[in-house]
Structure formats: structure tokens, C-alpha cells
Amino acid sequence: MKKLIIAFIAIASSFAPLPAKELPPAAIEQLKGAIGLVDQGMAEAAMLDLDALAKEYPDDYIVQYERLFALYHLEKYEEVAAGAKKLIKHKDATPVVFQMYGNVVDILGKPKEAIKIYKKGLKRFPDAGYLYLEIGNVHVSQNDYAAALASFNKGIDVQPDFSSNYYRAGLLYLCTEEAKVWGLVYAETSILLNPDNEERHSHMGMAIHNCFTDNISIEQTDGKTEAKISLAPSRGISLNPEEDAGVVQFPGVYEACALGTLTKMTVVDKEFTGSIAQLAELRKGIVESYFSTAKNYYGNAMYLLPFQKKVIDAGHWEAYNYFIFGQAFSEEFNEWYSNNSDKFNDFVDWYNNDPFKLDSTHTVGIDSIYRDCERLNTIGTLMFHANLLKLSE
């Protein structure tokens, strides 16, 4: 079976260590061999070479970092902390040494100090989204979920192509009453940015499925079928009368498009089971309603929806949804794939030639959502909101 690989490869290099620039060839080969041993889970065997190299080349950042990394694998956290404290001052230091230093300090029971270390790294490397990830993780461990979300979202803002902040924030948003829509968006984004992580892929596919099934109901009252969905606290708007301007909030737009689609689906389906086929139909309707009624209101500040439309327009929507949910529902996927392998492989070829990419202009973050939206006056905002409400009628 073909796999989606390009998007993952594109971001994996952000964690690669810098090359050893000034080491002689023999030392470089010795270092490569030691790194290989660590990667194979044999950190103890690598220490003899790493200790020798560190002694011979005390000013080489990569040598010193790789030695600390091996010690980290050996859980010698006190020694790692002492070495990292010095190494973060190196002229060639990278964000990962701040990450390692903060991690071991947190492990040693000093979460507040760990956050200070991550923030020190961000002063030097303000675009290191994975340092915001670590800050958020510490806040989660302290049950401070609001602070964690703020940190994850900041990481999304500064490094849009790093998947883990979406994954962590998505988990939290899906547990809230007021931001499930953001959970859905972040969960799918985390899959697309890291498709080779099968465990997370399965987790997020199941989470998206459960969010829909847990918050959708189709009720029979007096012979009439009524669809209900609860993904946002309200389909609200924000008005600024002084400037005669307003914006329509994204969660409400998404929920209105979902409800309108679900209402149409109930004409045929009297229950919503959350099969991949039903999820594909619902999600396609959301995208089509968003473009027909909401007119792509948020532009590329909510790039997941334009990307999904591109998938639909290319004729790969069915296969795309089996990709999104197939890891979580392998039996349903395998049954479909046995008769549709060509469709799936065609989708993978298409995707690998034109993958989902995020950057400063193509985002899905909560902090940038209103960046590109159409500027409407008060009356225009109210009319737009009224049209959304009519979707479910």
C-alpha cells in the first residue's frame, strides 16, 4: 500500500543536528558510528567513543550535544542538566539543547525552572515551535490547561508546519464544550502534517469520529425527523459599532455548515452511525456549504477547508476520508481497500505531488483565523450570519 510521505519528510529535518563542520574525517566517522549506536538503542556502547570525542574536541557543539543526548537515553539526568547548562551558551547552540535541558530539569522535579529554560531558548530562537510545545506539556502536567493551550497555539503560530502542537491542542479542545470545532481542525491537521505516525493518526482519526458521533443526534418527533449537532456554544458574531464592522466566529460557521448538511442527510439516513462513508458525506457537505454560503470567509487563514476543497475537486474525496479514518477503523478500511486500491493509490500519488503545507500565509491556527477574512460592515455581518442560520431550515 502506498503511503503519504512528503509532508512528514519536509518537517522531520527541523530536528536534524547540524553537521560537524571542523572535525577531521576519522572523527566524523567515529561520531557517526556512535550516533548510530544511540539510534539503535545502544547508548551505553556509544559512550566510549563519545567520551573520547568530547575530551578531544571540547569546543565542538555537535560532539558535546550528541554525548548529552546519549546520556539522556541512559537517564543520567543530573549529568545531562550540568552539561546542557553550559552548552546552551555555545555560539552554535540550537533550540534542541534548550529542549533537552528543560526536559531533564522537568524530570528532576523542577517544572517552573524548566519553563524558564524553554523561554530562554525562545528568546534566542523565537520560531522554535517545539519549545512552546514543551512549555505547554509542563502546563498540562500541572493541570493548567488554559496556559497549555495558549502555549500550543503560540507554537502553531510561529511554526505552522510542526504537527505536535496541533496534536496536543486538539486533544484538549476536543474535551471542551466551547471549542470542539478547533479540536476537529487540529486533529486532522496533525494527521496531515505527520502521516507516518500511525499511533497518533489512529488516535486522531478516532477522536474526530467520536466528536461527530457524540455530538450528533437525529430525533423523531411527531413523525418528523430533526437533526441536532453541538460543536460550538453559539453561532456568534463579534460587532464593533464604533467602526461599523464585525466578524462571524469560525466555530459557529463550521457548526452551521455541519448542521445544514446533516439535515439534508436525514432525508436518506435516519441515524448517524459514524461509518467512514457517512463521515465522508457529512464532511464533504461542510466544505461545500462553507464555499457556497460562507464564500471561503476565512481564506487561507483556515487553509484546511480550501485544501479539502482541492481534494474534492481532484476527485479524491472518498479515498482521502478512508486515509483519515482508516488507521482507527482498519476493518472498514480493509474492506473498502480490497475493491478500491486504485482509488487509494491514485490519491496518494496526487497528494505526494502536492501535499498539505502550512506556512505563514497558509495556516489553521486559532490566533490567525481572522487574518484574511472579508471585512464586512455591521449590516453585512448580520446578513451573513442570518444566511448561515438558514442552512438548517
115-133 per-position pLDDT tens digit: 999 999 999 999 999 999 9
Question: Which pLDDT score, from 0 to 100, does residue 223 have?
Answer: 66
| Fold topology of 6-199 | 1.25.40
- Name every residue whose Cβ is closer than 8 Å to that of residue 273 and which is 6 or more positions away in sequence: 213
Tell me the per-residue pLDDT of 67-116, one tens digit each, with 9 for 90 and over. Answer: 999 999 999 999 999 999 999 999 999 999 999 999 999 999 999 999 99
Across 358-382, b (16+ Cβ under 10 Å) vs e yields beeebbbbbebbbebbeebeeeebe
CA distance 333 to 350: 19
Q: Which residues of 118-128 are buried (b: 16+ CB within 10 A; e: fewer)?
A: beebbeebeeb
Q: How far is CA 147 from CA 14, 15, 67, 152, 278, in A?
A: 25, 25, 33, 9, 36
Q: Helices 250-265 & 180-193, crossing angle to 10 degrees?
A: 90
Neighbours of 219 (CB within 10 A): 10
pTM of the entire structure? 0.91
Q: How far apart (Å, rounded) are the C-alpha atoms in residues 99 and 115?
A: 10
Q: Which helix (H) or strand (E) holds 118?
A: helix 111-124
Q: Where is pLDDT greater, at 226 or 351?
A: 351
Secondary structure (3-state) at 248: strand
Domain ranges in the chain with CATH number 1.25.40.10: 6-199
| Cβ(67)–Cβ(55) below 8 Å | no
